[in-house]
């Protein structure tokens, strides 16, 4: 007979070991279908590593891909810490990008030191307001936020498409559904010449430090962790549970909105309906792989970004579909979920014992 016994609080080293083991297991499991496809596994992974780290350009491309993943990973991590299940980072990212374009395409004329902060604040505010609705529905009416945030992703994307086909369509875009380009005064500066890496990475790293400080060193962070552990007990202890959920929702949405700002103001320069290849959903994998740790989110985002960038390079070299990256990410999520079971419980095998009374 198998019996599950709860473990005590997990140490940081144990959680880190579980995350590393999950990443390694995902790579091992993904190697099986790659081998059946006739691809040398060692060659494939060496090409992926070269594609992500083999040159300065490859490394900066990996960091550029990691930038939105850090922010959406933080958005998921801070929400999940309070057991506010935000599945809507993808929609919040698009809302932030839409707000950044609305402010940064000439509506307001200002020098860069004023316009760039305005674009950043507009994007963060838009993402936070999108998440505010599901949070209020959860706290006031008990509506499941998983459903509302997930469905809002599609609603916001359709709204963005409507805006790009209508009032925000670039008249010089030759009919393509895209916004007008961001002004140079509103664009995030590049970190390196002739590279795509931009100051959005700095914003993401500073956000990670800020979230870490908030959770570990402030009263609000204590309230977030307390509500996440047991909302009823936190309410009994006098913690404002509803206000805590609202603060967490605003912060989570704002972080996802910043990811959208970085993509339009730092990387692409304009908004299209295919701006994100699923950064909001991948951010959930990043947060889970990181154990909801802000510092771990950075490392997990670098891992996931290296998989995506490396898979693109490997695909060009071998002709194998780059969807292998999605396979590895999905395997990583499954491995994290399974490893979480072993992190929370001890598994004991208990031999069956004969009941003496039944034997008589």
Confidence at residue 42, expressed as pLDDT on a 0 to 100 scale: 86
| Model confidence, pTM | 0.90
Confidence at residue 351, expressed as pLDDT on a 0 to 100 scale: 64
The whole-angstrom separation of Cα 163 and Cα 102 is: 11
- 272: β partners: 178
Does the pLDDT at position 69 exceed 80? yes
Does the pLDDT at position 162 exceed 90? yes
Q: How many CB atoms lie within 10 A of CB 25?
A: 17
First to last CA, the chain: 23
The whole-angstrom separation of Cα 3 and Cα 80 is: 28
Instruction: Label residue 357 by pLDDT band (50, 70, 90).
Output: low
Does the pLDDT at position 97 exceed 70? yes
Does the pLDDT at position 256 exceed 50? yes
Does the pLDDT at position 347 exceed 50? yes
Confidence at residue 6, expressed as pLDDT on a 0 to 100 scale: 73
Instruction: Label residue 352 by pLDDT band (50, 70, 90).
Output: low
Residue with tokens 């990475």: 201
What average pLDDT is seen over the chain? 89
How confident is the model over 23-50, as a mean pLDDT?
A: 84
Contacts of 295 by beta carbon, 8 Å cutoff, 6+ apart: 208, 212
Confidence at residue 199, expressed as pLDDT on a 0 to 100 scale: 95
The whole-angstrom separation of Cα 231 and Cα 242 is: 10
Confidence at residue 359, expressed as pLDDT on a 0 to 100 scale: 46
Q: Specify whether the CB–CB gap between 66 and 302 falls below 8 A.
A: yes
The dihedrals phi and psi of 349, each to the nearest 5 degrees, come to -100, 115
Instruction: Label residue 321 by pLDDT band (50, 70, 90).
Output: confident
Q: Specify whether the CB–CB gap between 299 and 16 falls below 8 A.
A: no
Beta strands 345-349 and 2-6 are antiparallel
Q: Specify whether the CB–CB gap between 131 and 92 falls below 8 A.
A: yes
The whole-angstrom separation of Cα 53 and Cα 74 is: 24
- Assigned token pair, 191: 């970190």
Better pLDDT: 339 or 127? 127
pLDDT in tens, 172-203: 878 889 999 999 999 999 999 889 999 999 99
Does the pLDDT at position 350 exceed 80? no
Does the pLDDT at position 320 exceed 90? no
Better pLDDT: 1 or 257? 257
- How large is the C-alpha radius of gyration of the chain? 23
Q: Specify whether the CB–CB gap between 117 and 280 falls below 8 A.
A: no
Does the pLDDT at position 151 exceed 60? yes
Q: Specify whether the CB–CB gap between 62 and 53 falls below 8 A.
A: yes
Does the pLDDT at position 319 exceed 80? no
pLDDT in tens, 208-252: 999 999 999 999 999 999 999 999 999 999 999 999 999 999 999
Confidence at residue 24, expressed as pLDDT on a 0 to 100 scale: 86
- Tell me what percent of the residues of the chain surpass a pLDDT of 70: 96
């Amino acid at each position: 007979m198998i019996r599950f016994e709860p473990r005590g609080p997990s140490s940081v080293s144990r959680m880190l070991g579980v995350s590393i083991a999950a990443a390694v297991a995902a790579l091992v499991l993904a190697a099986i279908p790659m081998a059946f496809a006739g691809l040398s596994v060692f060659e494939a992974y060496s090409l992926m590593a070269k594609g992500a780290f083999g040159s300065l350009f490859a490394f900066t491309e990996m960091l550029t891909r990691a930038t939105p993943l850090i922010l959406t990973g933080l958005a998921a991590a801070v929400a999940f810490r309070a057991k506010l299940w935000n599945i809507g980072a993808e929609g919040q990212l698009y809302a932030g990008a839409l707000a950044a374009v609305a402010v940064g395409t000439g509506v307001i004329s200002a020098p860069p030191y004023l316009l760039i902060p305005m674009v950043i604040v507009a994007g963060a505010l838009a993402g936070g307001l999108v998440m505010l609705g599901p949070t209020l529905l959860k706290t006031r009416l008990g509506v499941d936020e998983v459903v509302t945030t997930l469905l809002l992703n599609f609603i916001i994307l359709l709204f963005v498409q409507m805006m790009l086909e209508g009032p925000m369509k670039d008249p010089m875009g030759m009919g393509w559904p895209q916004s007008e380009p961001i002004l140079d005064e509103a664009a995030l500066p590049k970190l390196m010449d002739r590279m795509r890496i931009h100051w959005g990475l700095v914003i993401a790293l500073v956000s990670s430090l800020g979230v870490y400080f908030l959770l570990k060193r402030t009263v609000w962070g204590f309230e977030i962790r307390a509500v996440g552990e047991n909302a009823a007990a936190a309410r009994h202890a006098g913690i404002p549970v509803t206000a805590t959920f609202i603060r967490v929702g605003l912060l989570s949405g704002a972080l996802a909105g910043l990811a959208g700002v970085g993509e339009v103001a730092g990387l692409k320069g304009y908004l299209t309906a295919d701006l994100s290849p699923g950064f909001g959903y991948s951010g959930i994998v990043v947060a889970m792989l990181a154990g909801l740790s802000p510092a771990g989110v950075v490392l997990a985002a670098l891992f996931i970004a290296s998989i995506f960038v490396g898979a693109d390079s490997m695909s060009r070299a071998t002709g194998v579909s780059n969807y292998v990256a999605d396979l590895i990410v999905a395997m990583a999520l499954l491995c994290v979920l399974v490893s979480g079971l072993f992190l929370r419980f001890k598994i004991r095998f208990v031999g069956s014992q004969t009941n003496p009374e039944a034997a008589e």
